[in-house]
Structure 1
Amino acid sequence: MKGLVALLLASVTSIASAATPAAPGLTYLYSLNCTLGQALPVGAGPHGTRTVIPITGGTFSGPKLSGKVLNLGADWGLIDKDGTFSADTRYHLQTDDNAHIFIRTAGPAQASGKIHLRMEFETGSSKYYWLNNIVAVGVLTAGNGYVAIDGWQLDSPK
């Protein structure tokens, strides 16, 4: 029994003193610019005040994929009780080689004014199927009638 206790204490001490693990890296996916339609206020609900902002078009370009943003989607953003806006988008990309990619993003505004996004992709295209299985993040910068999003894929630590 004493041996087991000593082994457990050694393990806990070893874990507590272990170095910080290596951070994952990021691989650039693309930069996207899309135009927005007139905001449609929905009003207050149980999760905050919702406003729908239509996505009306745009383009995206990166080292592995590029194309256009189709006029099929919107941001169903919420403003919470503390006044923080959180994006909640669903929209459609069409690559230059005619593959279709559904994208969903969500994330809160930061003190800097940028919005940090979790990005999720869905496609049946064999060429872009890898997008279905990645973890991706983006940084959104809002403009007057448009947004710009830079997206990255999360990589395993080296």
Structure 2
Amino acid sequence: MFSMRAILTILTCLLFSTLALAQATPKSPSLNFLYSLNCTLGPALQVGGGPIGTRTVIPITGGTFSGPRLSGKVLNLGADWGLTDSKGLFSADTRYQLQTNDGAHIFIRTSGPTQSDGYIHLRIQFETGSSKYYWLNNIIAVGILKAGAGGVAIDAWELVSPK
């Protein structure tokens, strides 16, 4: 037989574990829109097979980007060194350069796989010495890429902590 104290202890434990489960799903982060980018691409160079897939280099030849906090052009300086795996899934692996309308330079790295809907989900990393855009160095950003004829469109967002 359980003592009254043991029963109260068990009930208290059950109550707190139920509350913990109810609060187990944290609030989701939100996204702040950064920009929409359209860029042109040069002819692809098929590098060939390697130990982790088939590499294709696609030159990034220009374009523009525009958003609430930064706008400018995509320089003819960079490429996508994408990889197609053994199952035929393409993953982007880019490095390229932006120049803002006020002359700042922003280096970008992106990577991410093609989704079943044909879009590519990107992880975006920024690097700049500009004091005006230095905040980009310290954010987590994501993007969605849609390929088109001779170019791509990318919409980019900054991850924002839940409130």
- Normalising to structure 2: TM-score of the pair? 0.89
**AA partner of residue 101 (structure 1):** I
- Residue 127 of structure 1 aligns with which residue? 132
**Percentage identity across aligned positions?**
71
Q: Kindly state the Cα deviation for residue 16 of structure 1 after the two structures are TM-superposed.
A: 3.2
SS in 2 for 1:72: strand
Task: Say which of 62, 80, 89 aligns to 1:84.
Answer: 89
**AA partner of residue 135 (structure 1):** I
- Residue 99 of structure 2 aligns with which residue? 94
Q: Deviations over 1:58-93 (max 9, x none)?
A: 000000000000011000000011110000000000
> Tell me, which stretches of 5 or more residues in structure 1 are unaligned?
none
- Residue 30 of structure 2 aligns with which residue? 25
After superposing on structure 2, the runs of 4+ consecutive aligned residues of structure 1 that deviate more than 6 Å are: 5-11
- Residue 110 of structure 1 aligns with which residue? 115
Q: Kindly state the Cα deviation for residue 9 of structure 1 after the two structures are TM-superposed.
A: 8.0
> Tell me, which stretches of 5 or more residues in structure 2 are unaligned?
1-5
- Normalising to structure 1: TM-score of the pair? 0.92
CA distance in 1, matches of 2:120, 2:16: 41
Corresponding residue pairs, total? 155
RMSD: 1.7
2:49 equivalent to 1:41: no
Higher CA-based Rg: 2
